[in-house]
Chain A
């Protein structure tokens, strides 16, 4: 880095960069603050609209409303569990397979790569996929969150192309020392993969945490393994239907209620917060400038 001498051009570049970044910063921060503000604002006041980045009438009522749903806490635990188990399983599988596919001499390299690559694009349809899941007894089981989506071809290929960029000489010397492929993978490749592993791990983890559709399809009524996101979807749906186009009979329940808008925002906050808390810890792996050069020496 040329931190010693800065030219005029450098200052111009800096100015442009900071200006653009600032615009991005504001335009991405505003909606989030808006969500926070509405989530912490009085529900009937929010209906009037126009809440900016600060609540007009601060309250915790919207969140208290959420505590009425006993499955939320359990759902949170299941979500946490699936995020941890799912990320670990997927990450190990992806890296191991990626290493095998990165080996130019591997006999099935092309065949396997194509096979996995196409999984991203082929769509077998709802019913056939379900029948396979059912045949393996995965529906209504926790493992439906882990196994069918074990390897994402996208992540697999990212990791593979990262490994391919590593100098082959690193492996070669290990082979000369008599190491086998598995040892090379665990002892040499894995440590070098840290930046891409962190990234792909983040992708897997966020995917696991945010996912609700698999619960909806494969385990909608098994409360033992319901996830946080699915329960939040249920709450949202219920609050909406209070204003839905239903028959006369629906109107008989007697109560004041929190508006769907406020529920939606409170739900968004509950869903995002855990990721926000974890992110800084992951971030350091790919922002702090961990470099190949450093590892090599």
Chain B
């Protein structure tokens, strides 16, 4: 029997040994050693001497990894083998390997920091402060001074705004440099059919907006056999209530998108937007809409899929949404030729003396972007790569593709070739060409013209816009005497520019684990909870419910929130303004 016992022990030991042997940390991920093939000779020279010429042309193959916190907007290339990407690799030897977060990335980022296992680049949005606290980014500014003339040229005045209070540059801004000349993303939308039916009335105020919806709904209680819906929202999934419930309220008052904050343009004093008395009026209007049966009863609970399905059915008369959010539903209407059910974009505000803020100019906002990590084995090569991306030719390459293949100069403009125009209608074309893939989150210029006077950005072209409008849109625009939606909106020069940039990402720069973060989260939670209740209450309850909301905001300490936010703004944005 003894032998049996020993056999058993031997087997158990062997199993344990095998398990531990297999689990030895031999399989380090790509992020760690991606630049191993590069000798360490490329360390930045401290003495500021110009690097030897040979290094300028280093095109040996190298793979850089990048972690993108919220997934790269367009589809990511798994293999970096698209037509544009191949050109980039040929020019620089660089292959980009994406790693990105799934789901709620807080946990993943926490462990990434705990493991000290960073890729070469990091693009973070709302966890910048976690990475800064752990000292993950290198200071790029000395390297850019030496190797980054194109970076400085591309960012221009905005370059200095990227420095933190100690003068370090941790990441390059991801937002478009230069705003572009396209139709407004955020507005109030109404079906062309409604406008046509009412004889294209003037719609500038919420009351006029409501009157048009109401009249049409009474006239046509059903569309295609289904009940007509005046207006609908999508608030059932996490953050989406920001887009259709909160932002329109701020827009209607003419506030720029500073998150849930209002910033006084003279004093740079910040306050929580919902403690401003006027904002109540938008939600009073919503309440009126709801009680007149003009708002979908499911508006505050439905999922995004249901929201899109309703828009696609053509029976939702009006929206207050960002174009990017409702376009998937609108596309179905276009495919079916129901152009009269697609939407006109109108500069509706609370009253005529308020200007819709769609084109309110703001200074460059560099709160997030691509930074180089301490783990990057060859930061010089990395900066040189960023510099390459900032070159004019590369900017055109990544936004338009290859000359003669994807675009050509015709009629004095840069435009897509016929082949490319046709191909863009096919699925998978974006992956094949990789056009646009490197525009996010890498440095990208938005509007303006290159040295030959041609547009940098395909979206920045009024001539193309007119051709892209459907017939009903053209009718509406003609009736209002304009050539694009943009012309309906107040132009940028009518506003005082927001010197602080766009503060909606103000919370991205707050220190992790701070009172401010807690307070902001609590106030936002309260807002998210009360606004739907306020909107769907009976008219008599409205005022008392609003007062209850305000008093609860007060008891949370909403005024402290304003004080801290003011300081945060000063520390992170105003300092740049002062430096200029």
Given the contacts A49-B306, A137-B24, A256 and B427 also touching, CB distance less than 8 Å: yes
A246–B70 touching, CB < 8 Å: yes
A221–B332 touching, CB < 8 Å: no
The residue that A248 contacts in the complex, of B24, B76, B446, with Cβ under 8 A, is B446
The residue that B180 contacts in the complex, of A47, A248, A253, with Cβ under 8 A, is A248
How far in angstroms is the closest Cβ of chain B from A53? Answer: 17
Task: Tell yes or no: B225 within 8 A of A by CB.
Answer: no
Stretch from A107-115, A235-243, A270-278, A286-294 at the B interface: A235-243
Stretch from A3-11, A116-124, A138-146, A187-195 at the B interface: A138-146
Q: Provide the B62-102 mask, 1 if CB < 8 A to any CB of A, else 0.
A: 00010100111111101100000000000000000001111
Task: Tell yes or no: B130 within 8 A of A by CB.
Answer: no
Q: Residues of A at under 8 Å CB distance from B? A: 44, 47-50, 61, 65, 68-71, 126-127, 130-131, 134, 136-144, 146-147, 178, 180, 182-183, 216-225, 230, 233-234, 237-238, 241-259, 261
The chain B residue sitting closest to A236, CB to CB, is: B102
Q: How far is the CA of A253 from the CA of B174 in the complex (A)?
A: 16
How far in angstroms is the closest Cβ of chain A from B436? Answer: 3
Which of B119, B430, B431 is packed against the most chain A CB atoms within 10 Å?
B430
Given the contacts A180-B1, A221-B30, A248-B446, A131 and B114 also touching, CB distance less than 8 Å: yes
A238–B29 touching, CB < 8 Å: no
B312–A48 touching, CB < 8 Å: yes
A249–B73 touching, CB < 8 Å: yes
Task: Tell yes or no: B23 within 8 A of A by CB.
Answer: yes
Residues on A with beta carbons closer than 8 Å to the beta carbon of B309: 47-50
Residues on B with beta carbons closer than 8 Å to the beta carbon of A68: 428, 431
Task: Tell yes or no: B490 within 8 A of A by CB.
Answer: no
B102–A230 touching, CB < 8 Å: yes
A238–B435 touching, CB < 8 Å: no
Residues on A with beta carbons closer than 8 Å to the beta carbon of B306: 49
A221–B436 touching, CB < 8 Å: no
Residues on A with beta carbons closer than 8 Å to the beta carbon of B175: 247-249
Q: Residues of B at under 8 Å CB distance from A? A: 1, 4-5, 8, 19-20, 22-31, 65, 67, 70-76, 78-79, 99-103, 107-108, 110-111, 114-115, 119, 174-176, 180, 185, 239, 242-243, 304-306, 308-310, 312-313, 322, 324-325, 328-329, 331-332, 335, 399, 424-431, 433, 435-437, 439-441, 444, 446, 457-459
- A-B pair count, CB < 8 Å, reads 210
The residue that B322 contacts in the complex, of A71, A126, A136, A245, with Cβ under 8 A, is A245
The chain A residue sitting closest to B125, CB to CB, is: A246
How far in angstroms is the closest Cβ of chain B from A239? Answer: 8
Residues on B with beta carbons closer than 8 Å to the beta carbon of A48: 309, 312-313, 332
Which of B71, B103, B176, B304 is packed against the most chain A CB atoms within 10 Å?
B71
Residues on A with beta carbons closer than 8 Å to the beta carbon of B25: 137, 139-141
B78–A71 touching, CB < 8 Å: yes
Residues on A with beta carbons closer than 8 Å to the beta carbon of B329: 47
How far in angstroms is the closest Cβ of chain A from B365? Answer: 10
B108–A216 touching, CB < 8 Å: yes
Residues on B with beta carbons closer than 8 Å to the beta carbon of A134: 114-115
List the 9 shortest-distance A-B pairs measured between CB atoms, nearest first.
A250-B73, A49-B309, A253-B74, A252-B436, A255-B430, A137-B25, A253-B436, A249-B440, A143-B23
Given the contacts A130-B115, A254-B429, A70 and B78 also touching, CB distance less than 8 Å: yes
Residues on B with beta carbons closer than 8 Å to the beta carbon of A44: 331-332, 335
How far in angstroms is the closest Cβ of chain A from B251? Answer: 15
Q: How far is the CA of A237 from the CA of B103 in the complex (A)?
A: 7
How far in angstroms is the closest Cβ of chain A from B456? Answer: 11
The chain B residue sitting closest to A245, CB to CB, is: B243
Given the contacts A216-B108, A261-B305, A237 and B426 also touching, CB distance less than 8 Å: no
How far in angstroms is the closest Cβ of chain B from A122? Answer: 19
Q: How far is the CA of A224 from the CA of B19 in the complex (A)?
A: 18
Given contacts A238-B75, A245-B243, A252-B439, 13 further A-B contacts (CB under 8 A): A47-B332, A50-B309, A130-B115, A134-B115, A216-B102, A221-B119, A234-B102, A241-B72, A242-B73, A245-B324, A249-B444, A252-B457, A253-B436
